[in-house]
Structures are given as C-alpha cells and as structure tokens.
Structure 1
Amino acid sequence: MKWNLLSIFVLLGTLIMGCSNNGLSGEEPPKATIQIANKSYPTTLGSYCWHSKGEGICVDTAGTVDLLEGKKPIEVKAGEQITFEMDYEPKPNEIHVSKIYNNKETEVQAENNRFSAPMEKGIYYYSYAIGWMDEKQENVSNGDAVYAFVIEVK
C-alpha cells in the first residue's frame, strides 16, 4: 500500500493517541457529508484513531481509491463548490484535503471546509483527513479520521 500524507497523518494520530485524557464522545468518529449545489451526500469513513471513555482505538482501512471501489461518483459541474459538513462538537481543528486523479495525489487548499471541484472533466477521488488536536497539550491528538468520496466532473 502506497504511503501518502493521509497515512502519515493517521500514523501520527496513532502514535500520540494515548497521551490525551480528554477523549471525545461516541464510539467512533461522527458521520460526515459533503454539500454540493444544496444537496447532501454521504462520505465513507476510512482509517481513524478515536479516544473515548478512557480508551483509544485505531482502525486502518484500504487507501482512498480502494475504499471507494464500486461507489458511484457524485456528478458535479466544473468549478462547483464542495463543502465538508459534520454535525459534531467540538469541531476538528486540523484539516488536510487531497485529490487523486490519474493515480497522482495532490494537496487541495480548503477554506472554511470548502473547496472547488476541478475544471477538467474526469473522475476524482478525495480524502478529507481531520483531527481533533488537544488545545492544552501541544502535539496531542484526541482523535483523527479520514473521510473519502468520489466525484465526476461532467
């Protein structure tokens, strides 16, 4: 399996997971959706580490493309706004978005959990890696998760 930025992000979360006493609510990361043209679409939860009720758990899944195998791409227009949404408090305070197109992975700049679809037609795989870093202790993670989805620019 190819190591990439998201794998490193999850690995770092794994290494420092046990250092936090705060924990988060729920047995696993919350569900997340993406909003495109006022319509909501589910994402697929990938690898994660979660600290809840005094215990930590880490789950490792397939990479983004393999994780989304067989999923129908969400059809979008070129340049259309895509917004990542999660009904959960506290909000994650670390975000990394990457796009895979033609087997090449690139970082995507997201502002306020929003970014634009590519201008070129094609099928694009996305990983949305988020983390709940402890605000009192530097470099301590309370949890992290990778969410994946696939779009087709028409």
Structure 2
Amino acid sequence: MKKCFLFFLMLIGVTLVGCAENPALIGLKEEVQESPISKESESEKEESGNVAKPPDVQVWTDEDSTVVVLDVWCWKEVSLCSLEPNPPEEQLYGSPPLKVEPGEVFEFAISTSEIPESDHIYFPDYIELTQIRLDEEKEVEVTNRRITAPMEKGRYYYAMKLQWEGEVVGQAYYVFGINVQ
C-alpha cells in the first residue's frame, strides 16, 4: 500500500513539474514577440491598402556593411505617432558594428522588398540621426545620406528616425553601431 501511495505521489509530482513553464525559456518567448505598436501598425496599413512595413535601411563603407535593426514604427492616417525608441545597446546585442576609420564617411540607403504603392517610401520627409556613446547623445548631420564618423576612437550607437508626412504618414526608428578604430 505504501508503495502505491509513494508511486501515486511521484506521478503527481512529475506531472506538475512537467507541465510547469521552463524558467529558462521565459525570456526567449518575450524576445520573439514583436512590439504591439508594430503589430497594430501592420494591420492598420494592410486594411488601408498602403505600405504594411517600413522600408529596410542598409549602412556601409567601401569595404564593409553592418546590421541595421528596425526598432519601433507606426503608420497613421490622420496625425503622426509619438514613439519612444528602445536602447540601441539592447537591440544590437551580439551584432558586429561597422568598422570605420576616424573621420571616414559611410552611407545608408533605403529599400524595400515589397512593391510600394508610392516611391515616397524611399524618400522620407525628415531624417534625424542621434549618436550615442557612454550615455551621451548628440545630433549628427546627414548630408546626401552620408555620415561622417567621429574622430575619437571607440564604439558608437546610432538611432535613426525616418518620418513621412506626404503620401505615406508615419515614423520608423532604426539602430546600428560603428566601431571607430
């Protein structure tokens, strides 16, 4: 009788432990989920028949390129969104930065894999670039989609805000990193 009772208790214990959520996987589920703003924005645009997703941004030098991550975005029919970008260090964790020399000029381009209804998506009305290093933020000038690297060596993060106010109305934040050597 004792053996049956112990077996029954062990069976209940194994069942409860087996059905519990694995604590090691909790963070992974959160990382895979997209931001609610992105999901809402995508469904809003698909319903209205316009652009469903912001364009891609590429950053490169003559010898190298780097990953540019789409952070947060939204599309609005009536007025502009008010978004707060996430910290670029978190968005780019594990991504190698673009390697540049002090004062080197690097470029970016805007493209999309979808067929847009309007070419306006390639030409945002407003481009704002913020350089982040050691919790210091600095506005950086963009001329003809070219950016000049800082003279001081080190790792820099950039947050790029693209804003459309014409045929397409919305905002998108992108992040990338460079390493001045």
CA positional deviation for 1:60: 6.6
Q: Which moved more, 1:96-105 or 1:85-94?
A: 85-94
Kindly state the Cα deviation for residue 150 of structure 1 after the two structures are TM-superposed: 0.5
Aligned counterpart, 2:52: 27
Q: Which of 151, 174, 177 is the matching residue for 1:119?
A: 151
**Structure 2 residue matching 1:27: 3-state secondary structure:** coil
TM-score (norm 2): 0.60
Give the drift of 1:87.
Answer: 2.3
Are 1:67 and 2:91 counterparts? Answer: yes
Q: CA RMSD in A?
A: 2.9
Change (3 A) 1:24 1:144: farther
Normalization by structure 1: what TM-score? Answer: 0.69
SS at match of 1:123: strand
Partner of 1:150 in structure 2? 177
> Residue 37 of structure 1 contacts residue 81 of structure 1 at CA under 8 Å; is this kept in 2?
no
Aligned length: 125
Which among 151, 161, 165 is matched to residue 129 of structure 1?
161
Q: Distance in 1 between matches of 2:90 and 2:53?
A: 21
Which one scores higher on RCO, CA 8 angstroms, separation ≥ 6? 1
Aligned to 2:68: 43
Q: Which has the higher helix share?
A: 2
Rg larger in 1 or in 2?
2
The DSSP-based 3-state class of the residue aligned with 2:56 is: coil
Q: Which residue of 2 aligns with 1:20?
A: none
Q: Percent identity between the aligned chains?
A: 31
Gaps of at least 5 residues in structure 1 are 1-22, 136-140
